[in-house]
Structures are given as C-alpha cells and as structure tokens.
Amino acid sequence: MPKPQERNQEETKVIFQNWLVEKLHEASDLHVEILGGPENTGFSNETLSFQVSYTLNNEQVSSGLVLRFYPEGFFVFPDYDIHKQFLIMQKLAVHDIKVPTVLWYEESDEVFGTSFYVMEMAQGDAPSDNPPFHQEGWVADASEDVRERIWWGWVEEMSKVHQVDISNGDYDFLNRPELADSHLDQELNYYFNFHDWAMEGEEHPVANQAREWLKANKPISKQSSIIWGDSRCANIMYLPDGTISAVLDWEMASLGDPCMDLAWGIAIDDCNSKGVGVDRLSGFPGPVATIAKWEALTGHSADNYDYFYILALYKFAVIMIKVVRKLEHYEIMPMGLNAHINNHVTPILEAKLKDL
C-alpha cells in the first residue's frame, strides 16, 4: 500500500537539480536521478529520494539525498512543522544519536511552492508497516538474533534521546505553552483537539471512552525529556545484521514524560501484530524485559506505563481516523467500510480499557 505522492516527480527533479546548482556552486557536471518515495511506511509526510552525482575538486562524488516537504493537499495531522524536524535532528547529532545528517532547510515557498529540508540518505532498510513486519518482509526472513538486535537497538537509541539534557533551553522549540502549562496537558490537549477535528462531528465510541479515562486518571509526572514521538522500530533504518544506521521521523517530537515513547513503541507493535491477527515474531523481547532495560538505561521510571500505553493507543486511534480518510480520498481504500473507527487499533484499545 504505497503512500500517495502528490507532486510531479519529474518536474521536482528538474527544480531540485537547478536548486542544487546554486547550493553546490563549486561543483560541475551535476546530475540528479529520482529514486521515488517510501512505499512501505509513512502516510503523513511527503518525501522523495534522489541520487546526486557531481565533480568537485577533480573528484567524482555520488550521494543519496532526501527531500522532505511541508505537505500539501490532504493533511493527516492538524499541523506540520518541518523546521522542528530539521532542528531536532541537527541538535541530536552531537549526542551520538544516529539521526540522518541534515544539510539545508529552505523556509521559502519560492522553490517548490512549499518549504522543505534536505538530508543525507541513510543506508539499510526500515521494517515495513504495510504489510506489518511481523507478517512478512526482510524482518520476518531474518534470524532471531537479528530481530533481537533490531528491538534492543530501538530501546538503546530511544534511551539516548531520553538522556539528553534539556535544562539549557536548547529544546524549548519543542514546548507548546499555547496548549497548556504542563507537558502532559499539552499532549492531551493536542490530541483531544485532533480527535474533534478528525471526526468532523461523528462519534468514535472507543476513542471517546479513552479520552474520558485519560482525563480521569491523569498522573502527576515528575520526569521530562525530549520525546521522539513516533518512537518505534519501523522508524529506524537497519543494516542486514540488525545494527542501526539512522533513526527517522521526528514530526511528533515534543517534551514530556519519556515513558510516553516507551509505551508508544510497544503499543504500536501490539497493534501491528495481534491487532491484525499475527503473532509477534520470535526473537523480539517482550514488554517486561523492554521496560526493565529502558529503566536501567535511562534512570527514568515506568511507574505510569499503563497510563501512557492507553494514551499511545488513543493517539494511534485518532491518527488512524485521518490515515483512513486519506486512503479513501486517494481511492486506495473504498469508502463505507467504517475503517476510520473500526481498525486494528480499536479492539486493542477497547480490551485494554476493560482491563484497567
């Protein structure tokens, strides 16, 4: 199920090549080949990859570059801040976190009609969302040792993010004081507003129940860090042996209790396995071991894990409303299936609410 691209790729290639001529003004024989967009993951962004070759100082250079645009057309999220993504990757690079190397941010819409940034292409492959990697693909074909390395690599890289010092104000751009004073209330209010915007007056009984539970059971959070946001294995590029080459997709980044990231990664994995009737692949550690390792690596507490697990499922349910509407909009999924409400997230969220 490829993500619909909303941009003329050949025209984009020509514009990008002309733009690169100015950026790489000392280079000659510049040639750009378009490689396309992501096919197995991602529905909220617009991304294209290119192979770029040129001559510089009498040497041939060839590298992969990735353009990520401020999206046009159908929005999955109510808003989208690509400058935030550029900044966080730029800043995290100095903390031994394997973010892609970001090269340029273009605020103006004069080049492509929208703002964008450029980063170096990472090597390797990301585990697939479509179909889920527990079902088929290179991860399903890998050994148990590689799968274990994939999972622990996610936990270890996420833990590095959670240990970055935010007290010096370098990451204040991730704060959202217009939504609330506390970071947890900021996150809750963002997704409560998202919920109302996405449903367009329609009722979502399970998401409505989760929203009320989240309001009634809100914990007092005493820890705060950078939140990756969409923290999970499918947003990481891995080499064939399961080692990490790059951690991706920072569009949901914020500040808050780092347990939020931990719960998100486990919750989405549950939805993409048992939520679609597929067993988790052998070799992947379970939640108890994962939580224990994360606590040991970060020094943070997972005491409020159950709350953040419900929050993760609620957020995913809300996001799925717009993902399904986008698939319907582009006629990738037929209308009338009610899949924006009843999908692989809904039964997991409903069952968890009954358990608590």
CATH code at 309? 3.90.1200.10
Tell me, what's the pLDDT at 6? 59
Residue range 39-85, pLDDT digits in tens:
544 555 688 999 999 999 999 999 999 999 998 878 999 999 999 99
Give the helix ranges, DSSP H, for 120-278. Answer: 138-141, 144-162, 183-199, 205-216, 259-271
**Do 176 and 227 lie in a common domain?**
yes
Per-residue pLDDT, averaged over 288-292, amounts to 98
**Do 96 and 167 lie in a common domain?**
no
**Do 144 and 176 lie in a common domain?**
yes
Residue that the structure tokens 């959670």 belong to: 162
Per-residue pLDDT, averaged over 266-278, amounts to 97
**Do 261 and 337 lie in a common domain?**
yes
Helix (H, G, I), strand (E, B) or coil at 14: helix
User: Which contacts qualify for 342-347: CB closer than 8 Å, 24 or more apart?
Assistant: 343/317, 344/271, 344/272, 344/275, 344/276, 345/271, 345/275, 345/313, 345/316, 345/317, 345/320, 346/206, 346/317, 347/275
Whether 131 is in a domain gets the answer no
**Do 154 and 103 lie in a common domain?**
no
252/285 Cα distance (integer angstroms): 25
Residue that the structure tokens 């192979």 belong to: 51
Whether 283 is in a domain gets the answer yes
Helix (H, G, I), strand (E, B) or coil at 53: strand
Query: 68, 88, 120 — which closes off a domain?
Result: 120
Per-residue pLDDT, averaged over 171-175, amounts to 98
Whether 16 is in a domain gets the answer yes
Tell me, what's the pLDDT at 3? 46
Tell me, what's the pLDDT at 40? 43
Tell me, what's the pLDDT at 276? 96
Whether 111 is in a domain gets the answer yes
Can you give the CATH number for the domain in which 36 is found?
Answer: 3.30.200.20
pTM above 0.75, yes or no: yes
DSSP state of 65: E
DSSP state of 2: P
- Token readout for 347 is 């039964």
- The answer to whether 231 and 264 have CB atoms below 8 angstroms apart is yes
**Do 298 and 209 lie in a common domain?**
yes
**Do 172 and 315 lie in a common domain?**
yes
Whether 272 is in a domain gets the answer yes
Per-residue pLDDT, averaged over 96-121, amounts to 96
351/344 Cα distance (integer angstroms): 12
Q: Give the structural domain span for 206.
A: 138-355
**Do 167 and 308 lie in a common domain?**
yes
Number of domains the chain contains:
2
Over 90: is that where the pLDDT of 17 sits?
A: yes
**Do 175 and 102 lie in a common domain?**
no
**Do 158 and 92 lie in a common domain?**
no
**Do 102 and 238 lie in a common domain?**
no
**Do 194 and 320 lie in a common domain?**
yes
Whether 133 is in a domain gets the answer no
Tell me, what's the pLDDT at 135? 96
Whether 1 is in a domain gets the answer no
Tell me, what's the pLDDT at 41? 44
The gap from C-alpha 278 to its chain's centroid, in whole angstroms, comes to: 22
248/125 Cα distance (integer angstroms): 11
Whether 128 is in a domain gets the answer no
Q: What is the mean pLDDT of the chain?
A: 94
- The answer to whether 268 and 316 have CB atoms below 8 angstroms apart is yes
